[in-house]
Amino acid sequence: MQEPIRFLTGITPSGTPHLGNYAGMMRPAIAATRTPGVENFYFLADYHALIKCQDPERVHRSTLEIAASWLAAGLDPERVIFYRQSDIPEIPELTWLLTCVTGKGLLNRAHAYKAAQDKNAAEGRDGDDGVSAGLFMYPVLMGADILAFNAHQVPVGRDQVQHIEMARDMAASFNHLYGEHFTLPEAAIEDNVATLAGLDGRKMSKSYDNTIALFAPREQLKKLIAAIVTDSRAPGEPKQVEGSALFQMYQAFARPEETAAMRQAYAEGIAWGEAKQRLFDCIDREISPMRARYEDLLAHPDKVEAVLQRGAERARQRTRPLLQRLRQAVGLRPLTAPAPQAAAPRAQATALPQFKQYREKDGRFYFKLVAADGQLLLQSTGFDAPQSAGQAIARLQAEPGALAALAGQLQPLDAATQAAAQAALHALAAARAA
């Protein structure tokens, strides 16, 4: 049995989700929980919320709203470990263990902290003015979030990549000092997530105040859609789909044949009012069953709480034994307890997947990765020289996360094989490190 590949992502409970969050992040993340061979950890990062928000009622309310939104949108808590960070006491405990192996200089370089410093400097204040130690320490808390589950992949936007690199550094320092306890996590960068345009045509974002709340009541949804900017072309005049916020939003919710029909309608000069009506119908069709579930959950917070408690219990089945081992490893153990064994090498899969290199009749050089049971996991395209094939193999061995970057040199894979290949690369890397 191959170890499943673990994906972990945190959602900071601040604000109310909007259609852009739904189409760009929630919907794909929920779909990803159906990938076989993958284990998903999604959590509400409420300790993180305290860094920015010190209004207790807002933190509390927002946690309910965000949890209810994910559940209403179709997150199945059986398919993912869905929990609230502050229900896992091992996370702050691990934060301290990591704090003690993290250079202060590393944290000095964190973007969020540097940005706060630069802003102060530009405004003539002391660099640390208004900067809490929480903001400074935030990357360590995030490292603990990830390492507490030994996650392999962390789906994040570009702005968070530095934090994942820091988590790797922390994991590597800890492993170096105390034995191989941590998997080095990788950022799964979400570059091609669909971003929706907002009411004014710019990217839909809280900071532009151009959003449509995901669960706005029907009437309000209708009004907001009516407020989406369009050009001044009259009914009957052909309209352009390029750059049309309305069309783009339609496309994010419509079936492909509906999108094609809308494209045609644009060319034939559909009136903006009619196009907006179709957009409303299309969004409402998808959202309205969710909205009903959302309203029910908000009216019954006990249902949401029960889901989170169950998630916390499942999560702690992972974190309790890990922290137990880590406490031993660093020397925190009963005075009567013997010294722990050096960290056991990772359970060695008896039969590991193998890379095979070969030359085809076309004279080019190829490689493939084959599982112990013979399943083909990766198949390269042709290389001119064996060295180039070898280089690609070496890169995959050293850096399992390079799989995405090397996609151009590999035959396309379906999602299940992709996940199996990724898990196989991690298993190989772990076996080499042991």
Return residues touching ligand TRP (CB under 6 A).
8-10, 12, 45, 48, 142, 145-146, 154, 156, 160
Contact 18, 209 (CB under 8 A): no
Backbone angles phi, psi at 374, to 5 degrees: 95, -5
Q: State the nearest-atom distance from the C-beta of 9 to ligand TRP, in Å.
A: 5
Comparing CB distances to ligand TRP, the nearer of 91 and 214 is 91
Comparing CB distances to ligand TRP, the nearer of 6 and 48 is 48
Contact 51, 281 (CB under 8 A): no
Please give the Cα distance from 65 to 295 (Å, whole number): 10
Q: State the nearest-atom distance from the C-beta of 203 to ligand TRP, in Å.
A: 16
Q: State the nearest-atom distance from the C-beta of 331 to ligand TRP, in Å.
A: 28
Q: State the nearest-atom distance from the C-beta of 160 to ligand TRP, in Å.
A: 6
How, if at all, do strands 365-370 and 376-379 pair?
antiparallel
Which residue is closest to ligand TRP by CB?
A: 10
Nearest by Cα to 63 from 79, 47, 41, 39: 47
Comparing CB distances to ligand TRP, the nearer of 47 and 294 is 47
Comparing CB distances to ligand TRP, the nearer of 154 and 371 is 154
Contact 2, 171 (CB under 8 A): no
Comparing CB distances to ligand TRP, the nearer of 151 and 282 is 151
Nearest by Cα to 212 from 258, 200, 244, 53: 200
Comparing CB distances to ligand TRP, the nearer of 138 and 355 is 138
Comparing CB distances to ligand TRP, the nearer of 43 and 253 is 43
Please give the Cα distance from 214 to 71 (Å, whole number): 13
Please give the Cα distance from 276 to 242 (Å, whole number): 16
Contacts by 408-414, CB closer than 8 A, 24 or more apart: 408/381, 409/380, 409/381, 409/383, 410/378, 410/379, 410/380, 410/381, 411/378, 411/379, 411/380, 411/381, 413/378
Q: State the nearest-atom distance from the C-beta of 107 to ligand TRP, in Å.
A: 15
Residue type, 423: A
Cα separation of the two ends of the chain: 18
Q: State the nearest-atom distance from the C-beta of 388 to ligand TRP, in Å.
A: 35
Place of tokens 């029960």: 306
Comparing CB distances to ligand TRP, the nearer of 3 and 145 is 145
What DSSP string describes 304-343? HHHHHHHHHHHHHHHHHHHHHHHHHHHT-S-TTSPPPPSP
Q: State the nearest-atom distance from the C-beta of 112 to ligand TRP, in Å.
A: 9
Dump strand ranges (E) for 224-382: 354-359, 365-370, 376-379
Place of tokens 């934060």: 95
Comparing CB distances to ligand TRP, the nearer of 154 and 197 is 154
- Sequence-distant (6+) residues with CB within 8 A of 174 are 97, 98, 101, 147, 181, 182
Query: Could you say which DSSP state residue 159 is in?
Result: G
Q: State the nearest-atom distance from the C-beta of 145 to ligand TRP, in Å.
A: 4
Query: Could you say which DSSP state residue 128 is in?
Result: T
The total number of residues written for the chain in this structure: 434
Q: State the nearest-atom distance from the C-beta of 84 to ligand TRP, in Å.
A: 12
Q: State the nearest-atom distance from the C-beta of 92 to ligand TRP, in Å.
A: 13
Q: State the nearest-atom distance from the C-beta of 428 to ligand TRP, in Å.
A: 25
Q: How many CB atoms lie within 10 A of CB 358?
A: 10
Comparing CB distances to ligand TRP, the nearer of 98 and 371 is 98
Comparing CB distances to ligand TRP, the nearer of 24 and 353 is 24
